[in-house]
């Protein structure tokens, strides 16, 4: 499958070219009992070669119990249960460490609510195979590709992307995207002690530090669909944390 042409946000020329043989899809969850079985079934149907790790923050709606009911549990589907709600950033960092203790060539970040289409995962992996270190699913390459969002949420996302680009210098159409494939060497090469964001600011941190580290980022166009059930995890607190963290990254860019 040929990777869809996107905006190359290259911070270097990339070093590894070749097919991704093994990969792990990491799905953080908190109160996703209503969607998680359908999400896992969709991933298994559209990306049958994937291993899946659900990182659950002790969801009171018993999301973890639902995960244990899915076919393939403990074989192709795994569960990392954490003692309490600790945020998206730490969930991904723990998921990355889980992957590094195993032999995966790459990991994929993906939301639990099917706002990210599992059918796009092979396209992201193909971009890695062709030389990218991180392939980012972009909602804004060559126009807006967002379905069922209210105008206010679209405005907030667009403003957040503009703000992150302006302050961090990232040449990305969608620097806040949470749908991406990442080569193992990126996970091994980043200093995770520098990451402090617990919410969506973590995504900007990841792009910023990867770019500073000389890794090649490539954006690939995807269609983002608003979640079908449940409530968005976006809040004023999370938005303010992200804005503060982006400002801190801007200072670090000027005074490394």
Q: Taking the complete model, does pTM exceed 0.85, yes or no?
A: yes
Cα four-point dihedral sign 126, 132, 135, 138: negative
**Nearest-angstrom CA–CA distance, 201 and 119:** 26
Q: What are phi and psi of 73, to 5 degrees?
A: -60, 140
**Nearest-angstrom CA–CA distance, 44 and 75:** 12
Locus of tokens 């996970």 = 187
**Nearest-angstrom CA–CA distance, 139 and 125:** 17
What's the 3-state SS for 29-79? Answer: ECCCCCCHHHHHHHHHHHCCCCEEEEEECCCCCCHHHHHCCCCCECCCEEE
Structure tokens at 190: 């980043």
Structure tokens at 164: 């992150």
CA 202 → CA 98, 187, 194, 244, distances in Å? 18, 14, 11, 12
* Predicted pLDDT of residue 200: 87
Instruction: Dump pLDDT digits (tens) for 160-192.
Output: 999 999 999 999 999 999 999 999 999 999 999
Band of the pLDDT at 10, cuts 50, 70, 90? low
* Predicted pLDDT of residue 1: 42
Q: What is the CATH number of domain 8-254?
A: 3.90.550.10
Of the candidates 216, 168, 169, 219, the residue with the CA atom closest to the CA atom of residue 189: 216
**Nearest-angstrom CA–CA distance, 109 and 207:** 13
What are the structural domain ranges in the chain? 8-254
Mean pLDDT of 24-35: 97
Mean pLDDT of 133-154: 85
Band of the pLDDT at 3, cuts 50, 70, 90? very low
* Predicted pLDDT of residue 155: 83
Instruction: Dump pLDDT digits (tens) for 86-135.
Output: 999 999 999 999 999 999 999 999 999 999 999 999 999 999 999 999 99
Of the candidates 111, 61, 62, 70, the residue with the CA atom closest to the CA atom of residue 88: 111
């Amino acid at each position: 499958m040929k990777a869809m042409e996107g905006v190359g946000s290259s911070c270097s020329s990339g070093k590894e070219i070749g097919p991704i043989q093994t990969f792990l899809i990491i799905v953080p969850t908190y109160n996703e009992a209503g969607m998680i079985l359908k999400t896992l079934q969709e991933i298994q149907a559209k990306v049958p070669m994937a291993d899946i790790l659900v990182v659950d923050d002790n969801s009171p709606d018993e999301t973890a119990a639902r995960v244990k009911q899915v076919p393939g549990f403990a074989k192709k589907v795994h569960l990392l249960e954490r003692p309490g709600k600790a945020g998206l950033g730490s969930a991904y960092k723990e998921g990355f460490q889980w992957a590094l203790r195993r032999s995966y060539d790459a990991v994929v970040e993906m939301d639990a609510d099917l706002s990210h289409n599992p059918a796009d995962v092979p396209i992201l992996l193909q971009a890695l195979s062709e030389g990218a270190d991180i392939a980012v699913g972009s909602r804004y390459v060559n126009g807006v590709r967002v379905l069922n969002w209210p105008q206010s949420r679209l405005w907030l996302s667009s403003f957040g992307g503009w703000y992150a680009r302006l302050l961090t210098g990232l040449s990305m159409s969608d620097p806040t995207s949470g749908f991406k494939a990442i080569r193992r060497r990126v996970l091994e090469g980043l200093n995770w002690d520098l990451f402090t964001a617990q919410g969506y600011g973590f995504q900007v941190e990841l792009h910023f530090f990867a770019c500073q580290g000389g890794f090649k980022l490539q954006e690939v166009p995807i269609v983002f669909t608003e979640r079908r059930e449940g409530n968005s995890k976006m809040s004023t607190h999370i938005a303010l944390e992200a804005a503060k963290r982006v400002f801190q990254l801007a200072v670090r860019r000027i005074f490394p």
